């Protein structure tokens, strides 16, 4: 399986996944990082790890439709079989979704269906919940609603700040995402 990671920011989860691919802990091959922010730190991580990087924005393409068409062409050029979203801060539209149905997974920093969308860690913290979590799920046409692959709770401690909670959520993501991606790729291979 040829895998692409889509990311928009710092890229810690991308680097964790890249290292798991390198160590053969995850079946398949990580062949592409796509980023929609030219200045995102994840681009530097990919270059350091010698993973091909492609970057462009919706604005540079003229419209969301043209962006998605260009992105689909890129995925076909790299012969991508499967996509892992790792902090990709865009909704994947039908052009990509239809072509990769049940072959795109997302990492979300909450126990879905609680707190879909942005700022989920802050929202759970502000609501004084006893716990939040991390969810890895397939994506569909709705926001953070596709079938769940794996989830893990993260307690919100009385001594937590948003920053300490975020740190523990990220630690959980780094552990859970490689396991979930491995499981998804193995399932895809079985269904082949």
SS3 (DSSP) at 87: coil
- Residue for token digits 């270059």? 47
Active-site choice (37, 99, 102, 108): 108
57 annotated among ligand-binding-site residues: no
* Number of Cβ within a 10 Å radius of residue 50: 9
Direct distance between the N- and C-terminal alpha carbons of the chain, in angstroms, rounded to an integer: 10
Q: How far is the C-alpha of 111 from the C-alpha of 150, rounded, in Å?
A: 10
13 annotated among ligand-binding-site residues: yes
Q: How far is the C-alpha of 70 from the C-alpha of 86, rounded, in Å?
A: 20
DSSP 8-class letter at 76: H
Are 49 and 15 in contact, with CB atoms under 8 Å apart?
yes
Q: Does the annotation count 102 as an active-site position?
A: no
Determine if residue 62 is left, alpha or beta; phi over 0 gives left, psi from -120 to 50 gives alpha, anything else beta: left
Are 52 and 33 in contact, with CB atoms under 8 Å apart?
yes
23 annotated among ligand-binding-site residues: no
- Which residue numbers belong to the known binding site? 11-13, 64, 106
State the catalytic residues.
Answer: 108
């Amino acid at each position: 399986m040829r895998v692409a990671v889509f990311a928009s920011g710092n890229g810690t989860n991308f680097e964790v996944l890249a290292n798991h691919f390198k160590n053969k802990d995850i079946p398949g091959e990580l062949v592409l990082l796509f980023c929609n922010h030219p200045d995102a730190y994840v681009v530097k991580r990919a270059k350091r790890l010698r993973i091909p990087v492609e970057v462009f924005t919706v604005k540079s393409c003229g419209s969301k439709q043209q962006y998605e068409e260009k992105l689909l062409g890129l995925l076909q050029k790299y012969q991508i079989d499967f996509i892992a979203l790792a902090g990709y801060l865009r909704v994947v539209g039908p052009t990509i979704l239809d072509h990769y149905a049940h072959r795109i997974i997302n990492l979300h920093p909450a126990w879905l269906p609680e707190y879909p969308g942005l700022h989920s860690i802050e929202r759970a913290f502000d609501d004084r919940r006893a716990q939040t979590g991390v969810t890895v799920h397939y994506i569909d046409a709705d926001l953070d609603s596709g079938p769940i692959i794996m989830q893990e709770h993260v307690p919100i401690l009385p001594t937590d700040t948003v920053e300490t909670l975020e740190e523990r959520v990220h630690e959980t993501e780094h552990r859970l995402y490689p396991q979930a991606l491995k499981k998804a790729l193995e399932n895809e291979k079985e269904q082949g």
